[in-house]
Amino acid sequence: MASQAMDTNLKDGIKTEVAEMKEEKISTSDRVIDLMNKAQLEADIKEKLIYLKQIQELVIMKDSALLDSFLDEILAFQHEKSVDIQKFILGFLEETCKKDEFLCGKVVYPLACIMYDQDNIQVTKRAIQCNLNLYRIAFKFVAAKKGANDDMLDLWKQFCDMKTYIISLTQHENTGVRTSALKYCEMIILTQSIKGTSVTSTSSKPDDVSLDMLSTPHPIMDFNKLKEEARSILTFLTDLTLSHKINHANLLPCIGSLTIIARMRPMYFGTIITCLESVNANLPPTLSKSQVVNLRKHLKMQFMLLLKHPGSIEYQSVIAAILSDLGVTANEISRNLPKTHTLESLKRTSNTNADTENERPAKKLRIGESRILDPKIADIKAEPGSIEISKTTDNLIQELNSIETVVNLVMASIHRLPNRMPSIFQDCHTPIASAGSKIQIAHLARLLSAQIFPTDNSNVDSSETDVMSTLRDVKADYPRTIKMAGLKERRVEVARSKKIKQFTLANLVNPNMDVQEKQKLSLSAFERILQGEENAHHAGMALERIQVLVGLATQLRGEVANAFRNYIFEDIRGRFELACTWLTKEYLLSLAAFNQDTELNDDNDGYSQCLAEILKGLTDKLDMEDKLFTHFCLEIPRFTSVAYEVIENYSKNESSSKLGLSTMYELILRRPITKAPLMKKLLDLTIFENEIIQLQASHVVKKLYNKAELAPMIERCALRNLEMVLQSGDNQTNQWSDELIKMHMSLFMSLLPKNHVIIHNLADIYGKATASIKRVILRQIEHPIRIIGMSSPELLKFFEQVPPATETLLTRILYIFTDKSMPSEELIRKVREAYYAKKLDVRSLIPIINGLEKNVVIAALPKLMKQSPKVVKEVITRLINPFIDADDSVGSRQTSPLTPSELLLALHQMEDDVKSAIKAIGFCLSEKNIFTQEVLAGVLQQMLERTTIPILFMRTVIQTLQSYPKLISFVMNVLSRLITKQIWKQTKVWQGFIKCCQITTPQSYPVLLQLPARQLESVFQIAPSLQQNLQHHINLLTLNQRAHIPQSLLLTIENYGVNDEKEIHHNKDT
C-alpha cells in the first residue's frame, strides 16, 4: 500500500510539472505574439528595435523550441529600410544558427537577400561578419552529412555563391568593407585547408573547422576543389599584400591574417615567410612617415609570433635576420625561440605521422584520385618561383663572400642614392647587429634574389580573376530568385483572407463645396504631400513625389506655390534640386505658351515671377559668400532682367561682391547667351566708385582677357576709359581728382603686362594729357612696367620712336628699370640713339648713365650740372656709388664709366659755368667715404701737372685742407709748386693762393718768402695783415736764418708799412 501511494504521488507530481511547463510555454508564446504585433505596428525605429530584441531573448535564450515557429515572422523585418533593423536581423540569423544548425537552410536566403541588395556600408560589413561565422557552421553541418538531398545541395550552393561575392568585395571602394572581406578570406583559407600536427598547429579554439572533418569521398563537397580554392585565395592574399596599390589600412590586416594562417596552418609557413620578407624589403611608396614606422612595428610583432611557433625551426635564420633589420637584439631573439622539448616533440610527431601515413591502406582512395599525403611537400612543389629564388640565393651567397664583388655592387649602385639621406630612412633605419655574419649574408642574398625574380604586383587583378574563375559570381542572379522560406505562401494566404472593399469616388466628393473650401483642402493635401518626404523615400517614390509637387505648384499657383517656396527655403541646400526642377517646369510652360521662333522677353510671365521669387529667397536665406547662389545661376534656363539685376546688385555690395563677380565669371564662360550683357556690367564695375569692388572687377576682367574672343571687347573698354580721362582734362570747369583718374586707368594698367602693344596707346594719350593726368600716369605705371621688363620688343620700339611730349614718360620708365637692376645693352643703345636723333632732354640719360661711354658722360656733364640740385646730386651719386644688381643671383656690381678722380677732374674743366661746377664739386667733397684724402691729393697732383691751372683749383685746395687738416704739409708743397709755375699770372688762381696763405699761417710764411719782391708786395696789397705777421716772423729768426732771405724781400717787408705812412701824410698835407 505504501509503495502504491508513493507511485501515485510520483505520477501526480510528474503530471503537475508537465502541466506547468505547458502553461509556461503557452504564456511565453503569447508574449512573443504580443511583442510581434507591437513591433509590426510601431513606427519609431528605436521602440521597434526594443521589441525585436525582447523577442530574440525569448525565442533563443529562454525557449528555443519557439524559434522555428516564429522564425518566418521575424525574418519578415529584413525588408525594413532602417540600418539598425537590418543589422539586428543579421545578428539574429547568426544566433539562430549557433543555437540550431539545422535552421541554416532557412536563414541562408534572407542572408543572401540582405547581402546582395545593400547600399549601406555598415550593413554590408555586418553581413560579411555574419557570413564569416555562418559559413563555418554550414561547412561543419554539411560535412557531417553522409547523404545528399536537394536542400543540402541548395544550401551549399548559396554559401558558395556568397563566398564568391564577398571575395570580390576585396576591391570595394570603402576601406572598412575591404578589411572585412580580407578577414573573410582568412576564414576561408583556414576552413578549406588541413590542420597541422598537434604540436605545430597553435589553434586552441574548440570550434576550429578544417578539411580534416570532411570524409573522403563526400557526396556534396569536393576535397581537392576546396583545397585548391584555399590555395588560390592565399595566392591572391599574398599578391595583394605585396601590391604597391594597397593602402596602410588594409596592409596591416593582410599581414595579421597571413600570420594567423601560418600559425594555424604550418603547410603555408614558407610561402607566408617569403611574402612578409618581401613586404619588409619593399615597402609601398605611398606610405607616409608615421605609417612606415607603424608598419615596421607591426611586422616586428608578427615575426616575433612566428618565431615562437614550433614550425619556424626551418626558417629561424631568415626570421632572425629580418628581426635584426627591424631592430630586435640577439638576446630577444634567443628568448623567443621555441622550447627544446617542443621541437623534439615536433620531430617525434612528424615521424609518427609519416609512419601513420605510410601505413594508411590504399583501398580508401578512389580510382583516379591522387591525394597528396604531406600537404607541406605539395605546397613546396607547387611553387617553382621559390625554387628559382633558392638556386639564385645559393649562387649569390658565394658571390657575396667575395670582397671584390661587394665593392663592385656598391660602386654600381651608389650613383642612384640621393644627395641627402631621406628623413624617413633616417628615422626608421636601425643598425644591423649581425652585419657580416653568415645569417645576414644569406638574408641579403634572399633580398637580392627577390629583386632578380621580383614579385609582379600587377598580379593582384589576375589573382583575383583566378579566384573568381574557380567560384561563381551570382550577385546579379540570386536577389531575384531567392525563395523566402515560405514567406511568399504565407502572404498569399493572408491576402486571400482579407476582404477588399471597392473604392468609389462619388462616395467621397461633395459637389456643393465652395471655392474657398476647395482651395483650403487643396492646400492641406499639398502640405501633407510636402511632409511625406521620408515615407516617399522609403517607398522608392521620391522622384514621383517631386513631379507631383512641381506639377501642382505650377498649375495651382497662389497659396500652393507660396507653400512650396517656403518648404524649399526651409532647407534650401537639401532641396536645391527641387527648386531647379520647379524653375525648369515653369520655363517649359512659358516656352509652350509662345511660338518657338519668338524671343521670350516677357518678364511678367510665371517663369519670370518664379525666378524672381527664388532669387529673392536665395539672397535672403544664403550667406553672402555661399557658392550655392552661383550654382543656381548656372542652372537658370532663361535669364531675365530681374536675374541680371540681382547678380549686379550682388556684385555692387561690398560684402557679397566677391561671390557676385565670380558668378559673372562662371556665367560668361559657361553660358554664352549671358556673355554680352554680363561683360558690359562687369566692365562698368571696373570704374565703380568703391575701390575694393573696382579692384576685384579688374582682377576678374584680367582673367577673362586670356580668352581670345573676349580680349578685343576688353581692350576697347580700357581705351575708352583712358580717353575719358583725356576728355576730363580738357574740361576746365570740372576737373577730375587724382583718385577718379586712377580708377579710370586701372583696367588699362592691368592689361598692359598682358599686351605690350598698348604701350603706344598710352604714349599717345600721355602726350596729349594735362600735367595732373601725367602725374597720375607716372605713379601708376610702375607695377606694369616692372612686369613687362626691359627686353620687351614693343617697349624698345617706344624708346626708339619717342612720340612728342613723352620724354618724362620715357625717363620714368628708365628709372623704374634701373632702380633695382642694371639696364641691358640693347636698352642703353636705343636710348642713346634716341637722345642724339630726337635731341631728348639730357635728364633721360641719368638712369642709364653708368652704361654710357666715358666720353659721352663727360660731354653731358655740363648740361647735367645745370639742372636742379636734386638732379645734380642724383647724377653724382649714380656715378660714384654703382649698386649691386638685385635681380642677378650672382650679385654682379655695376661699374661707373668715371672714377671719382676722373669725375672731379672733369668738373674742374667746366669753366663756362663755374657756379654749377662749384655746387657739384662741393657735393663730391661731402662724400668723404669716396673722396678720401688720398683721392683728393691725387686729383690736386694731376691738376698741378697741367699747363693751365683750373680756376677752381685753389678753392678745391682750401676745401680739401678744411676737410683734412693733416694735409697741411701737402698743401704747402702745392703752394710752393704754384710759385714755380708763376701762379700770379692767373688772377683768380692768384687770389685763391693768397687766401690759402692767409688761412695756413704761420705754415705759409716760408712759402711767402719764396715769392719775388714785387709779387710779395702784391700779396701785402691784397692781404695787409700778412705784412705785419711776416715781419714779426722775421724778427724771431736768427741771424743765420735771416741770411738766407734775399735783401730785396727784407726791404719790401720793412719799408712797405713806412712808405704807406709817408704817402698817407703827404696826402693829408695836400
Q: What's the mean pLDDT in 127-144?
A: 88
Q: What's the mean pLDDT in 870-879?
A: 87
Q: Which of the given ranges, 340-354, 382-396, 776-790, has the highest pLDDT on average? A: 776-790
- Which range (353-357, 378-382, 910-914) has the least confidence? 378-382
What does the pLDDT read at residue 734? 64
Contact 1009, 1045 (CB under 8 A): yes
Tell me: the pLDDT tens digits for 600-635? 455 667 888 899 889 988 888 888 888 899 999 999
Q: How many CA atoms lie within 13 A of 887 on its CB side?
A: 12
Residue with cell 472593399: 501
Greatest Cα pair distance, the chain, in angstroms, is 201
Q: Which three cell numbers, joined as nine digits, stand for 575?
A: 532641396
pLDDT-derived band of residue 425, with 50, 70 and 90 as boundaries? low
Q: Which of the given ranges, 4-13, 400-409, 501-510, has the highest pLDDT on average? A: 400-409
Tell me: the pLDDT tens digits for 976-988? 888 888 888 888 8
Contact 419, 294 (CB under 8 A): no
Q: What is the rounded distance in angstroms from the CA atom of residue 110 to the CA atom of residue 75?
A: 7
Q: Give me the phi and psi of 580, to 5 degrees please.
A: -65, -40
Mean pLDDT value across the chain: 78
Choice between 1069 and 234, residue whose per-residue pLDDT is larger: 234
What does the pLDDT read at residue 857? 87
- Which range (83-92, 152-161, 358-367, 539-548) has the least confidence? 358-367
Residue 241 pLDDT > 80, yes or no? Answer: yes
Q: What's the mean pLDDT in 22-35?
A: 72
CB atoms near residue 86 (< 10 Å): 21
Q: What is the rounded distance in angstroms from the CA atom of residue 1056 to the CA atom of residue 831?
A: 64
Q: What is the rounded distance in angstroms from the CA atom of residue 893 to the CA atom of residue 884?
A: 4
Tell me: the pLDDT tens digits for 557-574? 888 888 888 999 888 888
992: nearest Cα among 1022, 1020, 1013: 1022
Q: What's the mean pLDDT in 565-592?
A: 88
What does the pLDDT read at residue 278? 84
Choice between 803 and 351, residue whose per-residue pLDDT is larger: 803
Interior/surface letters 710-732, b for 16+ CB within 10 angstroms, e for the rest: beebbbebbbebbeebbebbeee
Q: What's the mean pLDDT in 1034-1046?
A: 80
Q: What's the mean pLDDT in 73-81?
A: 83
What does the pLDDT read at residue 678? 92
Q: What is the rounded distance in angstroms from the CA atom of residue 387 to the CA atom of residue 183?
A: 30
59: nearest Cα among 17, 99, 10, 109: 99
Contact 156, 221 (CB under 8 A): yes
Residue 1002 pLDDT > 80, yes or no? Answer: yes
With a CB cutoff of 8 Å and minimum separation 6, the contacts of 853 are 897
The string of DSSP codes covering 522-577 is HHHHHHHHHHTHHHHHHTT-HHHHHHHHHHHHHHH-HHHHHHHHHHHHHTTTTTHH
Residue 658 pLDDT > 60, yes or no? Answer: yes
Tell me: the pLDDT tens digits for 390-424? 555 666 666 666 677 777 777 667 666 776 666 65
Alpha carbon of 33 to those of 50, 75, 80, 323: distances in Å?
Answer: 15, 14, 19, 62
Contact 900, 908 (CB under 8 A): no
Q: How much of the chain, in percent, has pLDDT values that exceed 90? A: 7
Contact 313, 347 (CB under 8 A): no
233: nearest Cα among 197, 187, 278, 273: 187
What does the pLDDT read at residue 65? 80
Residue with cell 521670350: 600
Residue 75 pLDDT > 70, yes or no? Answer: yes
pLDDT-derived band of residue 213, with 50, 70 and 90 as boundaries? confident
3-state secondary structure of 186: helix
Q: DSSP character for 884?
A: B
Contact 87, 103 (CB under 8 A): no
Q: DSSP character for 895?
A: P
Q: What's the mean pLDDT in 541-546?
A: 86
What does the pLDDT read at residue 713? 92
Tell me: the pLDDT tens digits for 525-536? 888 888 888 888
Residue 12 pLDDT > 70, yes or no? Answer: no
CB atoms near residue 196 (< 10 Å): 27
Q: Which of the given ranges, 190-194, 379-383, 449-453, 726-730, has the highest pLDDT on average? A: 190-194
What does the pLDDT read at residue 733? 56
What does the pLDDT read at residue 361? 36
Residue 872 pLDDT > 70, yes or no? Answer: yes
Q: What's the mean pLDDT in 325-347?
A: 70
Interior/surface letters 39-74, b for 16+ CB within 10 angstroms, e for the rest: beeeeeeeebbebbebbbebbbeeeeebbeebbbbb
Tell me: the pLDDT tens digits for 265-302? 888 888 888 888 888 888 887 788 888 888 888 888 98
Global pTM reads 0.47
Residue 193 pLDDT > 70, yes or no? Answer: yes
Q: What residue type is assigned to position 435 of the chain?
A: A
Residue with cell 537590418: 86
Tell me: the pLDDT tens digits for 136-180? 888 888 888 887 888 888 888 888 999 999 998 888 888 888 899
What does the pLDDT read at residue 198? 44
CB atoms near residue 304 (< 10 Å): 17
